[in-house]
Structure 1
Amino acid sequence: MRSFSLIFLILLLLLSVVSGGIMLHEEITETGTEGRAAVIHCPYTEGYETYVKYFCKGVYKHCTTLMQTNREVNQTYKGRFTLTDNKDERQIVVTISDLRMEDTGLYGCGIEKVGHDPFTVVHLTVNKVLSDSMLYEEVKETGTMGSAAVIHCPYTEGYETYIKYFCKRVYKNCTTLLQTNGEDSWRHEGRLSLTDDKEQRLIVVTIRDLRMEDTGPYGCGIERTGQDLFTLVHLTVNKAPRTSTDHTTTVTHKTQVLNLSVLIPLCALLLFAGVFLFFYHRRKKRNINSLSANYYITGRMTTGAVRDEMEYESDPPGNQVSMNPVYQSLNTSQLDSIYQGLNPTTNQSNHVF
């Protein structure tokens, strides 16, 4: 029993080590312009909609919480920071307004839970204000297949009433997919939607149900006399990460393969050791019982024979019966005289014996 208890404890320890802290998404890179806004999107898997979400500066144990939601409030504000838990899209959305050069650095999106919090590392880079020749030098956006990507193209003050558009490819070779006009601030077509956020001075493009072929260069533009103001957008679509049915966090494919390659052989080895110990102890107990039985029977037989011999030798000479004279004194010729001498009317048993 002690051996089985030890094996069970070792299995529990291995499972706890293998199922250690896992990240929501490997990492996110976001770029912003000084004085403008940056919008960070941290996706999470199904099952964490009701959990507390937070945004912090730094990584893991050294991450200082800047703001967090709770189970009742899905959006919170603090200074230049806004945190929204978009439960429909399963995204933690963080907006940092009035960007400063010192905002450049590492951040993190996290979900509070028992054990290790699922965590997404965010790399934020703030660039200096560019000349009026371009809206923004370039924007990099990463999305997951099947989910949504939200692209933000900031523009400078004075272009709020201009026509905005979103196109595939770059500059003169860019094919327009959506555009607004001077009155409408929102357009929608198929999987794409375009919003002109005039308060934040942002062209916001949402692409839903991402596909691998969506990867490529795009552009946000503002129509004007002469050369249009243009922002180059690099969109990358990754394959969807694996999810588990018990709402555990997403793990990368390499980590899953490594964990299984370590756990399965160890479990098989421990199972084999448990079976070996079981049959070993069972066989050992059977051998002990067999030796005990043989010793008992042999001892009984030896002790009985010795005791019979000692009792016989200790009898007085007169009480010892010799079998050989009895057989030697029998004479078959005398049987007739014995039977002839018997008288039925007379009790002669004493004389015969």
Structure 2
Amino acid sequence: MWPLLVLFLPIVQGSSALVAVSNAVSGPLRGSLTVQCRYEPGWETYSKWWCQGAQWKDCHILVQTDGSEREEKGHHVSIKDNQKSRTFTVTMEELRWNNADTYWCGIERSGTDLGVEVKVTIDPVTVQCHYGPGWETYVKSWCPDADLNSCTILVQTTGSELKKNRLSINQKKHTFSMTIWGE
């Protein structure tokens, strides 16, 4: 039984032949983040990929190399392999809330691909607004759109009280602050 187990280990996900430099990364909303994955000697000319999805078997490949060191680009994501350092780098740009998910660094091979899980989160955003004296009891709200006629209000107070607990009011400093986590 033991020899069968030893033969099986190299083909399961998370094999030591491939590791993520960090298994959890985060980036700012509308910003970018970088993920590096390292691999053992012998995998240099294999195709590398980056996929999204909580389950290994159902993840969707977003970008993939052709086995060379040429950078490949997808929609707001790129991948580049440095075969000398045996590291490939994935860059995600223009981050949105829905980019927070489970991703996988992978190497394509016959049989089961090598893969390692990476959790991506988007950093919360804090917005602080100032208002003048006399406006303390007025409704305060925040919407992410520049057009006030079409924006959807995410947070709103009723006078000096909170409508949602993501907003804090400091009437002495005439400010209100809001922290936004993924919607």
TM-score by length of 1: 0.32
**Is the CA contact (8 Å cut-off) linking 1:80 and 1:98 kept in structure 2?**
yes
Runs of at least 4 residues of structure 1 off by over 4 A?
10-15
Q: Which residue of 2 aligns with 1:48?
A: 43
CA contact (8 A) 1:108 1:120 kept: yes
Counterpart among 29, 33, 36 of residue 28 in structure 2: 33
Question: Is the CA contact (8 Å cut-off) linking 2:37 and 2:88 kept in structure 1?
Answer: yes
**In the alignment, is the contact (CA less than 8 A) between 1:30 and 1:123 conserved in 2?**
yes
Aligned twin of 1:96: 92
Q: From 59, 62, 66, give the equivalent of 2:58.
A: 62
SS in 1 for 2:44: coil
Q: CA deviation at 1:61?
A: 0.9
Partner of 2:114: 118
User: What SS class does the counterpart of residue 98 from structure 2 fall into?
Assistant: helix
* Greater percentage in strand: 2
Give me the TM-score of the superposition, normalised by structure 2: 0.59
Kindly provide the CA deviation profile for residues 85-132 of structure 1, in whole angstroms up to 9, marking residues without a partner as x.
Answer: 122222121111111111001000100112222211110000233459
2:124, 2:29 → 1: CA distance? 5
* Structure 1 residue 50, shift from structure 2 partner: 0.6
Greater share of helix: 1
SS at match of 2:125: coil
* Higher RCO (CA-CA < 8 Å; seq separation 6+): 2
Identical amino acids, percent of aligned pairs: 28
Instruction: Output one character per residue of 1:208-246: Cα deviation in whole Å (capped at 9) or x when no partner.
Output: xxxxxxxxxxxxxxxxxxxxxxxxxxxxxxxxxxxxxxx
Deviation at 1:36, TM superposition (A): 0.7
Where in structure 1 are there 5+ consecutive unaligned residues?
Answer: 1-9, 133-353
Please tell me the residue identity of whatever aligns with 1:95.
T
Structure 1 distance, partners of 2:68, 2:82, is 13
Structure possessing the higher radius of gyration over alpha carbons: 1
Question: 1:54 & 1:123 partners in 2: Cα distance?
Answer: 16
> Secondary structure of the equivalent of 2:30?
coil
Between the two proteins, the alignment pairs up a number of residues equal to 123
